[in-house]
Structure 1
Amino acid sequence: MTVSTLSATPETTTVSGAAPYAEPTTAMRLEWLARSTDLHAQAVARAARDDFPAWLSHVQTASACMRPVRLAGTIATVEAATGRLLAERHTADMPDGVIYKPCGNRRASVCPSCSKLYQRDAYQVVRSGLVGGKGIPEDVARHPAVFPTFTAPSFGEVHTRNVKRHTCARRADCDCRPEPCHARRDFMVCEHGVRLVCFARHAATDRNLGTPLCLDCYDHDAQAVWNLTAGELWRRTTIAINRYVRRLCRARGIPYVATFSASGKLRVVPPVRLSFGKAAEMQRRGSVHFHAIVRLDGVDPADPTAIVSPPVGIDAQDLVDAIDHAAATVGFTTDPHPAAPEGWRIGWGDQILTKVITVAADGEVTDAQVAAYLAKYATKSTEVTGHASTRLTDETVNVYADPDGTHTERLVEACWMLGRPREWWRLRRWAHMLGYGGHFLTKSRRYSITFALLRSNRIAFRRTQTAGPDTAEPAGEPTTLIVNFLEFVGSGWRTPADAMLANTSAQMAREHQNTAREYLTSRAA
């Protein structure tokens, strides 16, 4: 049996041997490009679609995020007074059928865009507590405030970069000549046969910085436990500082204040109140140390929650003395552990430095410098040590833990092995953080504004910017509520081409904003 190869339709061409063929449509070409493994071909396929402008506008809020969260469901507009449904919209009617939300990760190594936004918010939170604004009275600029740094004790000698006197203009670009690391005339040899000497003048980018001279001599167990209990040590330190200042008030005859509690009972409280802000920094050796702000406030008998000036008789030097006293005396012993039946002694190291904060530029350290310093470390984690991982499990811990491996691998191993007892399970939970499980930026309740306030103000601004000022609701109770019935369906962009297009759009928007900001700055000058 034979099958004819002739066309079933009349030939329209006069060329011999030519048969008609189906011309690929634009939709077919776009489908081929979308299935291509070439990133640029995928981007062309997405940009050529009719809904590309709508998609680009839809993903604008999360366009710079590395791993946006995808949500699906319905969004309902409800009348606040009656609960009547006014409008409802489903994400299936939107581009890609989902809503893209920024991940909001604070770590710069995970998402540079979201961490930059977090850093700017942290700067406002810290600085408003020093100079006022955003709801904080501007009188706080005249309150005594200090900037102490609390370090961890030594767990063994490590390679360091010591510059006795800085002559560089910027510490971030320091090119000053450092001293030798561990220069000794006598070549000390530890019990493991390692010479505890190093004549190198380490550069700031040297990978040996923070690593022990002898890995076997270093007390990795004690450092892991210290990281775990650093938050409790900070809590006890703040209590000790408060008690020291209160004793000063009594000794100097500063009268206590009589106020009424929330339940209406009369009580007598100290005439001063301390407000704290703290940022944790992970050192190269894998231990945390704290940069803090301690501000002295007074107490208003009519409104105990108000931020008022402190009474005369207590100044910034008294805060320095209180911090030095607390750092030298506060300490405790942990609960017994099978590896340490008597527990570990927890206390601060010897390198405690406290500077007085001033608003003027001629002081030890200014408010802008402190705010920028704390905001910078609020977006960092363990990357400086060379270790970066998510939360570890029994299946993944062997990738990062090794009892005979590098410094960080031994720290992870110490956390995992010491976390076997039920009472010490938090060591395993925070093994990916080398034992530290606290927040990297914290503050006391009355120090300044909150991140939630900044986020809510930003949301209100964007809604007004999108809908127009005429549609904004008046101040007071809202008349309508937005109720979201959304569920998590994934994270990240659907394709690398989507990520490239969204990030490119975000980069162009940032460049436009920077150009406009520079133009306004030049005109103001």
Structure 2
Amino acid sequence: MMSPHPVPTDLGGLVRVATSTGLAQQVGQCRHPVAVAGSSLLVERGTGRIVERLDPTTSPGRMVGLRCRSRRASVCPACSALYKLDAYHLIAAGLHGGKDTPPQVAYRPRLFVTVTAPSFGPVHLGPDRHGQPRPCHPRTRRAAARRSCGRWHPAADPAIGTPLDPAGYDYPGQVLFNAHVGLLWARLTTETRRGLAAAAGLPRAVAARQVRVVFAKVAEFQARGVVHLHAIVRLDGADGPSSAPAGWASVDLLEHAIRAAIRRVEVATPACRRVPVRRLRWGRQVDVRPITRTDGVSETVVARYVAKYATKAAEAAGIDLGPIYCRACDGHGTHRTTAVLCHRCAGTGRRPGVSLRHLSGHARRLVDTCWWLGAQPGLGRLRLRRYAHTLGFRGHFATTSRTYSTTFTALRVERRNWMAARRAERAGVDPAGVLVVGDWRNTGPGGGA
């Protein structure tokens, strides 16, 4: 494997690489390194002469391991810290430029949007968003017919997010919402584009040649186990970040289009004999704020906030699991082509050795609901058993439009090229005159970071 890409020479690139290198030394070793065997050659470009050879088999006591690159802090804190740093740079580049993204994006119409899920039943409440304690569903005359709690739950109380009335809680509705969040967001962006065109009095095709809607978003699990989204929405010209949108495209117009789209968007769930069709919509709690350099929400605050949630999964809801379905039968319990009982899971469809006993009653009920719905005819395409460990949510936790900014791959390549340049300098050769040629093969988990 060769690394022909140039070493970053811009100041921002050097700062990014230096920061990530220092962080890698601070966070320590990877918790689940991948052991590799093979060799790495430093080859002179013009002559093909081997300047240096790195071969772990000829270095007694030395092992080579690659980082697992897990984004989840609960799986590998070290790799998660690096992922969070990359996520910050990726988000920040789309806000103020850098890493092949022009600085003009800082002057485009931009909004920080939060969309939430609807209510599936009352749940126990903790402190408010400012950290101030509050009573949980106090009993009043107007609420006499409803269930009440009245306690003051501290922040770490496991009761927060659990239903006041588990028997009346809409578990299927919540799981189906999680499974359709990606489709809801896709329709939200489509409706936003239509709203912009209508506000400008232009046909959609004409408006698309003048304005492009781009975004970066992350999914966050609330304590009740349902997903809501934080997104940065930006308007560019038709040619992407390098071009400005038409003059009629403003922050106010974008906000109006987004709010109207949130109210209009809905998704109908597939028909099923035991589960009625549901029309899923966004919740009432919506937050849309402009991103500015002077007042309002600052670029740095937004980038840090979004990057923070890029490394989280369902831990907030008390779900710290890997996939629980049996890979041999894809969770069906039988092989789909032959209908023969799966011997690996003994027909249960679950991965051998997996246990849900450590989960709370609410979390276990959500996982079980995913498992039950996943077996219903008509809901098979949702693959709910495969994603039972994320409570039905099937999307990526951090996604961006293609032209929002850079990519995680580009950031890793930048870091790898910088390390290759340091290796060439230690060997006493010009980094621009050599190539790194690697021949590595996976030997399984283990090794050193």
TM-score range, shorter chain: 0.7 to 0.9
Structure 2 unaligned regions, length at least 5: 1-23, 326-349
Asked whether 1:182 is paired with 2:182, we answer: no
Q: Does 1:459 align with 2:416?
A: yes
**2:250 is aligned with 1:250:** no
Given the superposition, is the C-alpha separation of residues 241 and 397 from structure 1 closer, same or farther in structure 2, using an over 3 Å criterion? farther
Match of 1:471 among 413, 425, 429: 429
Q: CA deviation at 1:161?
A: 3.0
| CA deviation after TM superposition for structure 1 residue 405, in Å | 6.7
Aligned residue in 2 for 1:55: none
Give the distance between the partners of 2:116 and 2:164, measured in 1 at CA: 20
| 1:79-107 deviations in Å (ceiling 9; x for gaps) | 87999988765432235463111111111
| Structure 2 equivalent of residue 198 of structure 1 | 149
- Per-residue CA deviations over 1:192-230 (Å, capped at 9, x if unaligned) read xxx710112222222211010011111111111111111
Q: 1:385 to 1:255 in 2, by over 3 A?
A: closer
Secondary structure in 1 matching 2:273: coil
Change (3 A) 1:255 1:106: closer
Q: Report what 1:262 is aligned to.
A: none
1:249-398 alignment, distance < 5 Å: 249-250=200-201, 256=206, 269-299=208-238, 304-340=239-275, 342-360=276-294, 363-393=295-325, 394-395=350-351
1:37-186 paired onto structure 2 within 5 Å: 63-75=28-40, 90-96=55-61, 98-161=63-126, 163=128, 171=130, 174=131, 176=132, 178-186=133-141
Say which structure, 1 or 2, has more relative contact order (CA 8 Å, 6+ apart): 2
Number of paired residues? Answer: 399
Shift of 1:345: 1.7
User: TM-score, normalized by length of structure 2?
Assistant: 0.80
Residue type of the alignment partner of 2:363? T
Percent of residue pairs bearing the same amino acid type: 37
CA contact (8 A) 1:106 1:114 kept: yes
Shift of 1:63: 4.8
Deviation (angstroms), 1:343: 2.0
**What amino acid maps onto 1:320 in structure 2?**
E
Equivalent position SS for 2:36: strand
Q: Which runs of 5+ in 1 are unaligned?
A: 1-58, 258-268, 494-501, 503-525
Say if 2:425 and 2:431, in contact at 8 Å, map to a contact too: no
Q: Deviations over 1:366-418 (max 9, x none)?
A: 1111100000000111111112011103145872279x971100000000111
**Alignment partners' CA distance in 2, 1:187 and 1:401:** 39
Distance 2:271 2:47 in 1: 59
The answer to whether structure 1 residue 406 and structure 2 residue 371 are counterparts is: no
Q: Rg bigger for which structure?
A: 1
SS in 2 for 1:387: coil
In structure 2, the residue matched to 1:231 is 182
- 2: CA distance, partners of 1:60 / 1:181: 44
The CA distance in 1 between the partners of 2:48 and 2:382, in whole Å, is: 46
TM-score (norm 1): 0.69
| RMSD (CA atoms) | 3.1
Whether the 8 Å CA contact 2:105–2:241 is kept in 1: the answer is no
Worse overlay, 107-116 or 390-399:
390-399
Q: Deviations 1:429-481 (Å, cap 9, x if unpaired)?
A: 0101111121111100111111111111111111222331863443xxx8645
Q: Assess if the C-alpha contact under 8 Å between 1:187 and 1:197 holds in 2.
A: no
Task: Please give the alpha-carbon distance, in whole angstroms, between the structure 1 residues aligned to 2:59 and 2:310.
Answer: 35
